[in-house]
Amino acid sequence: TDQYRVVGYYMLGPDEINKYPSVDFPVSNITPEKSNMLTHINFAFIGINEEGQCDLLEGTNQTKAADVFKQLNTLKQYNPKLKLMFSVGGWAFSNDASPTVNRFRQAAASDAARKRMVSSCIQLMKKYDFNGIDLDWEYPRKSDTQNFIALLREFRQQISLHELQDAADYQLTIAGAGGAFFLSRYYANLEEVVAPLDFINLMTYDFNGPWQGVTKTNFHAHLFGGKDEPKYYNALREVIFNPPKTWEEIKNLFPSPFALTTDAAIHQHLIMNIPKDKIVMGVPFYGRAFKEVGSANNGLYQPFNTPGGDPYVGDPTWLIGCEKCIERNEPRIATYADIKKMLAGSFGYQRFFHSETKAPWLYNANHNLFVTYDDADSLTIKADYIKNNQLGGVMFWHLGQDDTDGTLLRTLHNSLKK
C-alpha cells in the first residue's frame, strides 16, 4: 500500500447511540484534519442476532444508528479514501463467558450458517455505505478454528463478488490476539486465518491488568520486554503443528518463560510467514490502573490489590483525578484524556519512562496508584518500529479516548509518513 494504515476504532454502545449526539465523543469530534490522518474507521460494535445475521446490537435504535452511520460517511468528503468498517463482536459480545458467544460459534459452524451470516453482513455494510467488515471474535476456540477459517473464506468469496459487481474496494480484516495465550488457539493455522484478509489488527495491549494470573503491576502494552519483568509461560509451545515441529525447533521458536510484549506478538506472526504489510500493530489510547501498589521501584513490578471482575464491582472513585472513571464506573481504565488531566492536576502523580521497554507509567505515592499507558513518546517509538519492520500500519483503541486535540492520532500520523 502507498501509505501505512491508520485504523481507529469508533466506539458507541447502544445506550450512546440512543441518546446521540449527547455523548462524550460524537462524530463531529472527528474533524476534517483527523479524518485525513485515518485510513480506516472501525465502528464498534455490531453483533450477530438470534437469526445468525449481522445486526445492530440489541436495544439499538435503528434510526439513531442510521444517523451516526450517515455522519461517519460525511467524513469521506474530507478524506475520499477513508474506509468505514463494521466491527463485529468485541470482547463483551464474544468472549468465552459472554451470553452471546454461541452466536459467533454457530454462525461459523456450517456452510449454510456461514453463507447466511456473510450475506447479511455485506447487506448491512452496503445499506450504510460502509466499506468492509472487521471480525472481532475474542476468540475462536481451537475447535472453532476450521469453522473460523471457512467463515473468513466465505467473506472473501462474497466480498470479491460484490467488488466486481459494484466496481468497489471492500475490505476484510480481523482483530487478532496480541497475547500468546489466546493466539495459541489458532496459531497452528495462522497462515490460513490471515490469507483471506486484507490485513490483521493485532490487539497488542491488555498484556497485564488486575485479572487472574497477574500478581504484579506491569505494562499493558509495552513494545519490548524488561529483563526484570514478570515472565509468562509460552503457550505457543503447546501448539500442534502440521507438519509437526521437533521439540528442539519448538524450544527455539518459543522461548519460555518470556515477556508478553508487542514485539513478541509481531515476531510470533513474522515467523509464521505472515506478510509484513498485513500486520497492523494495535496500540491503546487508554491506560490500566492498579490500586494498593507498593512504592518500591516507583510501583513497577509490585504487588497490588485491585478487583479483577468484569464488569467492575466496587468503589469507582479510587483513581484520584479521573472524574470520568466514576461516571463510567470503571476506575481501572483511564483514557489518555483522563491521564493528561490526572497529570496536570496536583493529585500527586509522577510520570516515569522505562528506557528498556519504551513504556511510560504513572505512580502516585500518596495513594499507592500505578497506571500503565501509551503517550506521544512511546507511540513515536512504536511508529519507528512499524517503519523499521515495514509493517502494514497501526490500529488503535479507540478514537474517543484521545485528548481533544487528537494528540495521539496526530503523533501516529506524523510519525508514519511514507
Nearest to ligand NGO of 36, 95 (CB atom):
95
Our finding on whether 6 is near ligand NGO (CB under 6 A) is no
Our finding on whether 75 is near ligand NGO (CB under 6 A) is no
- For cell 518470556, what's the residue? 258
- Determine contact, residues 86/121, Cβ cutoff 8 Å: yes
Q: Using CB under 6 A as the criterion, what x/- string covers residues 202-241 for binding ligand NGO? A: -x--x-----------------------------------
CB of 126 to ligand NGO, least distance (A): 23
- Which residue among the candidates 33, 50, 138, 249 is catalytic per the annotation? 138
CB of 219 to ligand NGO, least distance (A): 15
**Using alpha carbons only, what angle is made at residue 14 by residues 8 and 18, rounded to the nearest 5 degrees?**
110
Our finding on whether 4 is near ligand NGO (CB under 6 A) is no
Nearest to ligand NGO of 121, 368 (CB atom):
121
- Determine contact, residues 105/144, Cβ cutoff 8 Å: yes
Our finding on whether 336 is near ligand NGO (CB under 6 A) is no
Nearest to ligand NGO of 206, 375 (CB atom):
206
Q: Please report the beta strands in 40-193, taking only residues with DSSP state E, as ranges in sequence order.
A: 40-48, 54-55, 83-89, 132-136, 171-177
Contact residue for ligand NGO among 107, 175, 193, 264 (CB under 6 A)? 175
Nearest Cα neighbor of 413 from 31, 25, 36 is 36
Alpha carbon 286 to chain centroid distance? 11
Nearest to ligand NGO of 43, 318 (CB atom):
43
Our finding on whether 397 is near ligand NGO (CB under 6 A) is yes
- Determine contact, residues 145/189, Cβ cutoff 8 Å: yes
Our finding on whether 371 is near ligand NGO (CB under 6 A) is no
Cell readout for 301 is 513490578
Strands 83-89 vs 369-372: parallel, antiparallel or unpaired: unpaired
Our finding on whether 16 is near ligand NGO (CB under 6 A) is no
CB of 89 to ligand NGO, least distance (A): 8
Size of site (CB under 6 A) for ligand NGO: 8
- Backbone phi, then psi, for 186, in 5-degree steps? -125, 10
138 is catalytic: yes
Our finding on whether 338 is near ligand NGO (CB under 6 A) is no
CB of 294 to ligand NGO, least distance (A): 25
CB of 175 to ligand NGO, least distance (A): 4
CB of 366 to ligand NGO, least distance (A): 28
Cell readout for 38 is 485515518
CB of 288 to ligand NGO, least distance (A): 9
Our finding on whether 12 is near ligand NGO (CB under 6 A) is no
Q: Residue 379 is which amino acid?
A: L
Contact residue for ligand NGO among 47, 52, 90, 299 (CB under 6 A)? 90
Our finding on whether 181 is near ligand NGO (CB under 6 A) is no
Count of helix runs (H) and strand runs (E) in the chain: 15, 14
Our finding on whether 259 is near ligand NGO (CB under 6 A) is no
Our finding on whether 139 is near ligand NGO (CB under 6 A) is no
Cell readout for 95 is 468472549
Contacts of residue 111, defined as CB under 8 A and 6 or more positions apart, other chains included, come to 150, 154
Contact residue for ligand NGO among 20, 78, 91, 128 (CB under 6 A)? 91
Nearest to ligand NGO of 363, 397 (CB atom):
397
Our finding on whether 174 is near ligand NGO (CB under 6 A) is no
Nearest to ligand NGO of 11, 254 (CB atom):
11
Whole-angstrom CA distances from 107 to 86, 187, 275 are: 17, 21, 28
Our finding on whether 374 is near ligand NGO (CB under 6 A) is no
Nearest Cα neighbor of 239 from 192, 186, 177 is 186
Contacts of residue 132, defined as CB under 8 A and 6 or more positions apart, other chains included, come to 40, 83, 84, 85, 86, 125, 159, 170, 171, 172, 173, 198
Whole-angstrom CA distances from 106 to 38, 113, 239, 257, 394 are: 34, 7, 24, 35, 31
Catalytic residues: 138
Residues that bind ligand NGO (CB under 6 A): 9, 90-91, 136, 175, 203, 206, 397
